[in-house]
Amino acid sequence: MSTTESARQPVVILSCSLNPRSRSHKLALAAEAFLRASDQPVELIDLADHDLPMCGGVGSFDHPAVKTLTETIQAAGAILVSAPVYNYDLNAAAKNAMELTGSGWTEKPVGFLCAAGGTMSYMSAIGFANSLMFDFRCHIIPRFVYCIRDDFTDAGEPGPEITARVEALAASAVDLTRALAWVRENPR
């Protein structure tokens, strides 16, 4: 795949909250809007719209929704995980989606958009990121977004500082996807 072709691979945004009023979903929407405005291919997957089985159950990997999601993850140039933080970790829906789609994540750039209740869980994505690095050799984008309720406007939208950070993360995902494609095309 050429650098030009890989640049056209979509950034998949995995919105992991199952709450329709989720702040993490608002972060996902902001990333999607930025990528579309930048003429980058993007696909937003809202897990609230998908009936995924729990990983490890009988037939879970053969479920049609899992097969579709796995194909989408495999086709991605990069993945942005947008998730709420519960008990110092990303929510269970995020982990379940990762476990179900497994090797589809292999060697992809991955970034994080996290919405939490307080400021003390800012390292909460590390366990998820470690799993991606060690299990699937993902390239974790060191720029990530972590925000709390105060970072949103009264209307519930990300404030200007958070929006700028979301946009910087999305741009980094595109840049890293292109850089990795170039490296793969130009081996030593």
pLDDT at 80 over 60: yes
Cα separation, 27 vs 145, in Å, equals: 9
Residue 1 has a pLDDT of: 52
CA geometry: angle 96, 12, 167, nearest 5 deg: 115
- Residue carrying the six token digits 């291919």: 41
Residue 99 has a pLDDT of: 97
pLDDT tens per residue across span 148-170:
999 999 999 999 999 999 999 99
pLDDT tens per residue across span 2-22:
555 555 899 999 999 999 889
Q: Where are the domains of the chain?
A: 3-185
Q: Give me the chain's average pLDDT, please.
A: 95
pLDDT tens per residue across span 38-53:
999 999 999 999 999 9
8 Å CB contact between 44 and 76: no
Residue 108 amino acid letter: K
Which residues have C-beta within 8 Å of that of residue 17, sequence separation ≥ 6?
24, 25, 47, 48, 82, 83, 84, 91, 93, 115
pTM over 0.85: yes
- CATH dotted code for 3-185: 3.40.50.360
Cα separation, 11 vs 80, in Å, equals: 7
Which residues have C-beta within 8 Å of that of residue 25, sequence separation ≥ 6?
15, 17, 19, 46, 48, 82
Residue 187 has a pLDDT of: 86
Q: What percent of the chain has pLDDT over 70?
A: 96
